[in-house]
A and B are shown apart, each in its own frame.
Chain A
């Protein structure tokens, strides 16, 4: 049988291939989104939103789950119905100072939803979609209504 030898170009290609595999491995190891404690974790996310009608606030409060408005994928589910209360608005006092008083025309819906995902070194990564942190505004859908929620805090959640 005729013995075939590798040309110097073939050796160079094999060397380049080996270096390429090594670089991909190094890049994979340096990715920062690897979960810290594994998948399947839950976070309790406290949120608030404002709306200008009581009926709309009540519809939002009946929602059993929230989804991302842009991708329609699940953001979290609601364990306890949220609270509806008058939203606070700014008003100027006669002495020139600003008061922050409950409104008769605007309502605040405030509650907590449970999101699944993983806690990474960059924060809570919800459902493989995006990170959720405090002070973040998220366009969400609740009971068919599009709303913008403000995330107030994110904590580990463990069901008892």
Chain B
């Protein structure tokens, strides 16, 4: 290898090293830490098969499978019959009635987040009322919607 090539390689090494640092540790890791708030938020998961409900467990760590961010731990769970819309011939309009088989789940998740726009930032995931949550735990996957966010008593 010629001396010139070696010199070029040496000159390229430092910029490449600096670039690789940002690839290994993305920019948001380097941002100044803002004050974090303890929050609780509700995720609604709809039309669940009754046999999958036992896989939704308290204490499970939740990840948003799209942003790959840790978005909290399951604090509590409640299940209600799934409401389905159907035509009522007696009333001649669409009505909502409880489904006899499928269930909806309300999952309350506890997390630490920084205030961001109209909601909170959890890692790289932006949480706000109405946000779609690609809910992923070690035993359960589902797509839900964030319906409410509260600051937890621990932080207030």
Q: Are B52 and A16 in contact (CB under 8 A)?
A: no
Measured CB to CB, the closest approach of chain A to B47, in angstroms, equals 10
Q: Report which of A98, A122, A150, A153 forms a contact with B138, defined as CB distance below 8 A.
A: A122
Determine the chain B residues whose CB is within 8 A of the CB of A100 once the complex forms: 99-101
Contact of B54 with A by CB under 8 A: yes
Determine the chain B residues whose CB is within 8 A of the CB of A90 once the complex forms: 84, 86, 99
Determine the chain A residues whose CB is within 8 A of the CB of B141 once the complex forms: 131, 133-136
* Interface membership of chain B positions 113-134, coded 1 if the CB is closer than 8 angstroms to chain A and 0 otherwise: 0000000000000000000000
Closest to B68 in A: A32
Contact of B76 with A by CB under 8 A: no
Determine the chain A residues whose CB is within 8 A of the CB of B54 once the complex forms: 153
Q: Are B51 and A133 in contact (CB under 8 A)?
A: no
Q: Report which of A13, A97, A99, A123 forms a contact with B14, defined as CB distance below 8 A.
A: A13
Contact of A55 with B by CB under 8 A: no
Known: A20-B20, A133-B141. A153 touches B52 (CB 8 A): yes
Q: Are B100 and A135 in contact (CB under 8 A)?
A: no
Known: A92-B86, A92-B87, A121-B138. A133 touches B99 (CB 8 A): no
Determine the chain B residues whose CB is within 8 A of the CB of A16 once the complex forms: 13-14, 17
Q: Report which of A12, A23, A97, A135 forms a contact with B25, defined as CB distance below 8 A.
A: A23
> How far apart sit A12 and B17, CA to CA, in the bound complex (Å)?
12
Determine the chain A residues whose CB is within 8 A of the CB of B24 once the complex forms: 23-24, 27
A-B contact number at CB 8 A: 87
Q: Which of B33-41, B90-98, B147-155 is found at the contact surface with chain A? A: B90-98
Looking at A17, A48, A90, A100, which has the most chain B CB atoms within 10 Å of its CB?
A90
Measured CB to CB, the closest approach of chain B to A58, in angstroms, equals 23
Q: Are A88 and B101 in contact (CB under 8 A)?
A: yes
> How far apart sit A100 and B13, CA to CA, in the bound complex (Å)?
67
Contact of B137 with A by CB under 8 A: yes
Q: Are A99 and B140 in contact (CB under 8 A)?
A: no
Closest to A36 in B: B138
Size category of the binding interface on chain B: 35 or more
Known: A23-B25, A97-B97, A99-B100. A152 touches B51 (CB 8 A): yes
> How far apart sit A151 and B140, CA to CA, in the bound complex (Å)?
10
Determine the chain B residues whose CB is within 8 A of the CB of A17 once the complex forms: 17
Q: Are B100 and A98 in contact (CB under 8 A)?
A: yes
Q: Are A134 and B139 in contact (CB under 8 A)?
A: yes
Determine the chain A residues whose CB is within 8 A of the CB of B136 once the complex forms: 122, 131, 133
Q: Are B97 and A98 in contact (CB under 8 A)?
A: yes
Closest to B25 in A: A23
Determine the chain B residues whose CB is within 8 A of the CB of A75 once the complex forms: none
Q: Give chain A interface residues in 38-78, CB to chain B under 8 Å.
A: 46, 48
What are 22 A-B interface contacts by the 8 Å CB criterion?
A23-B24, A27-B24, A48-B49, A90-B84, A92-B86, A92-B87, A96-B91, A96-B97, A99-B100, A100-B99, A122-B138, A123-B137, A131-B136, A133-B55, A133-B137, A133-B139, A133-B140, A134-B140, A134-B141, A135-B141, A152-B51, A153-B54
